[in-house]
Structure 1
Amino acid sequence: MKKIKYYYNPNTLRYEKLETPLRVKLLRALGFIAGSLVTALIIVSIAFQYLDSPKEKILRQQYEKASENYDVLSGHLRKLQQQMAELEKRDNDVYRAIFEASPIPDSARVKEMEKNKEIQLVQAMDADDLYSDVVSTLNNLNKRVAYQNKSYDDIGGFIKNKEVLLACTPAIQPVSNKDLNRIASGFGYRIDPVYKTVKMHAGLDFAAPQGTPIYATANGTVQQAGNTGNGYGNHVVINHGYGYETLYGHMFRIKTSAGKRIKRGEIIGYVGSTGKSTGPHLHYEVHKNDKKLDPVYFFYNDLTPEQYDRLLKMAAASNQSFD
C-alpha cells in the first residue's frame, strides 16, 4: 500500500497532501537510470580488465597450449640442428676422404620450388593444422636423420677399415731407389747363379752396398727374424694381416725381433750377402694368402707413372738372379 505524505502549509495553516510534479518524477527516473548505466559501465570495464570472457578463456587456453607446443618443438629443432650440423661435417669429411670434392646436395637444387610450395601450404592452415603438420615433418626428419646417421656410421667404419687395409698393404720399395738403378733381377724364371739352371725366382733382387738400410713396406708384425737355414740367410718375415706377408732376405744385420709391431718405412735391417747369395743385395718377396706375387706391382706409393713403367720394364728383363 502506497504511503501518502503530507506537509504543513503555513499559508493555509493546515496540513495538505504532498504531490510530486510529473517533471520531477521524470528527472528522478532519468537520474536513476543514468546512475545505473554509469555504475554498470564501471563494473563492466573492471570486469573486462580483470576477468576473461568465455571466448578469451578459450583463446588463452589455446595460447598456453601453443606456447607449450612451441617450447617442445623448439627443443626438438635445436637437437635436430645440432644433429644436422654434425651430419654435414661428417658428410664433408666423407666426401673429402673418398672423392676429394664437395658435392651439391639435392636440397639446394630444389630449394626455390619447395620454398614456394611450403609458403602456400602454411597460409592455408589454421594453428592446429600447422602444429600437426610441423610435428609430422619433425617426426619424418627425425627418422631420416637417424637413418642417415647410421649410414654415415657404416661409411665411417668402411673408411677406417680401408685406411687400415691400405696401411697394411705393401706399397713402397724396401730400399732407397730414387734412380731406379738397383733392380738387379725380377720376378719369374731366371738363371740360378749357383746351379746355372732356369729356376723360379719368387721375388725381386735389389743390388745395394752392404749396410744399406732396408725398410718395411707396410705396417705389420714381425713373424720371423733370424737365420733358419732356408737359403735366405739373415731374413725377416712381416705379417701385415689381410693375407699379406713380406720377406726380406740375405741381410747383413737384423734390426728388429719377432713379435714387434712395425710401421711402414721403419728400418728393419741392413743389406748383406748371407745365405745362398752371390753378392750384397736384398731379396724381397710379397705373399698374399700364401701365394707369391710379383713385388713390382706393390710400388705404387712412391713412384710416378713414368718411373713405374720404367721399373716394370727393368724387372721383366731376363737375367741371372743374385740368389
Structure 2
Amino acid sequence: MLSTQGLQGPFGDFLYAIGFLVEYTLVRLGRTTRTLTGGLLQALGSLLAAILRPPLQALLDFVDSLRHPLRLFRLYLLPAAAAVALAWLVRSVLTLPFALRVVVNGQTVGYVASEEIFDSARADVLARVNSARQQLAADQGTLTWDVEPGYTLAISETTMTESEIANEILRISGSEITEGTAVYWDDQLRFVTTEGDHLRHYLHAQLQPWDNPEDPTLQASFAHGLRLVDGIYLTDSVVPYDQILSALQADDGAALQVQVTQRVTESAEIPFDTQTQEDSNLEFGKSETLQQGVPGSEIITRELTYLNGQQVDDQVVDVTVTQAPTPEIIRRGTRLQSGMIGKLGTGTFIWPVPGYKSISRWAILPRVHRGVDIAAPYGTPIYAADSGTVIQVVPMHYSWGNYVQIDHGNGYKTLYAHMSSFAVQVGDTVTQGQLIGYVGSTGDSTGNHCHFEMSYNDTLFSARDVFPDIPTKNPDF
C-alpha cells in the first residue's frame, strides 16, 4: 500500500484513496488477464487435439498393423489395389474404339463410326434400289427388295465410309449387282451407267472452257450439283449411255449449266467518325479541331458467282481491318453573346445568327414589316432558334427568296428568309442551334441579311419581345 505517513489532513486522505484505487485496479486487471489467458490456451489445446487426433490415430493404427500383416493387407493394401484397378478400368473403357456394327440378315457387313454415317448409307442404298425400280417400271418390270440393315454397338478400330458400307450392303444382299457410276443431280441419284469414264470425260469437257487451273481464285462447277459417284449398284438400274446424254442435254442443257465462283480481294477505305464536344467557353458558331480524323483501311474478300458467264451474285465473305480509323474530334462553342438568348412564355429561343447584332429594322406589325432583318455577310450560318420540325423549305419565293419555316410544336413557329442555300429538308427534325441554311440576298432584298419572323398560334409577334437587349440602328423601330 502507498504510505501516507507524514501527510496529514484531507489531502493525505485523498492521496491514500487514489493509491488504493490504482492498486486495486491493477490487481483486478492481472486476475482478469490470467483468467482469459488460461481459457484461451485451453481452447487452443482442444482445437489442436481435435485436428491432430485423426492423423495421429491413423498413424498409430498403421504402426499397429505392421505387426499384423493380414490386417495391413485388409485395411490398406487391398483398398489401394482396388482404387488402382478401378482407375485403369475406367481409362481403358473410355479409350476403347467403339463403333456401330452394321448387320444385314444377321450377317456382319462392316463397321461405321456414327449413327449419322449409317443413316446416310442406308438412304444411299434405298436411292440405288429406287433407281432400279424406276428403270424396271419403265420396262414393265418389278423389283422385290426385303433387305433392311441394322446396327449394334461394338468395338472396332477399323470403320468404313458411307459409300463403302452402302456397297457392302448391296454385295451381301444377294441381288444381282455390278460396278458402275451413279449420276447425282440436285443431290438425287438420277442414273446409273457402266460408262463412267466416258461420262466423266464428257462432263470435264463441259467445264473446261470455264476453268483456269492457273488461277486459284476461280472454281467451276455445275450449277445443279451434277456429280459422278463410282460404286456397286443393282444391275437393273443401269441406263444406256446415250439415254443419259439425252437427259443431260434436254431443256437447253439445264443440267449442264456451269457455275463459276471467283474470289476477289480489294483494299477499301474506312471513313472516320466525327465526335463533337460542346464547350460553353467557346463562342457559339465557332469550332476548333482538337484531333484530325484519319481514315482507316481494310481488306475485303468478295465471292462473285457467274452462271453461264453472267454474274448472278456478289457476296462479302471476309473483312480484315488493317488499320483502324482515327476519329476526328471537334470542339463546338455554345456560349452566346449577351442578349442572344431569350424566353417568352413556354418557349426558349436563341438568336439565329449568333455573333451578328446589326439590325436594319425590327418588325412593324401588323402590316408594315413582319420580322427582324439581321445583317450578316454572305454565307454566314443560320441556326434554328429552337428545336422543332421543318415544315417549309421554299426556293426562290418572290418576296422571301429561299426560306425555311420551323414548327416548334408548342404553338411557336419561326421563319428564316433570303437564304443563299439550305441545309435542311422538309420533315427534318432539328435541335436548337442546328444549322439550317446560310445568309444570302435572294428574293426581294437589297443586301445580305436574314429576315427572321416569330409567331405564336399563327399570330406574328416581334422578336424584340424575346431579345430586348439586341441594339438597333434606328431606335424608332
Which band: TM-score by shorter chain? 0.3 to 0.5
Name the one with the larger strand percent.
Answer: 2
Could you say which structure has the greater relative contact order, defined with CA pairs below 8 angstroms and 6 or more residues apart? 1
Which has more helix, going by share of residues?
Answer: 1
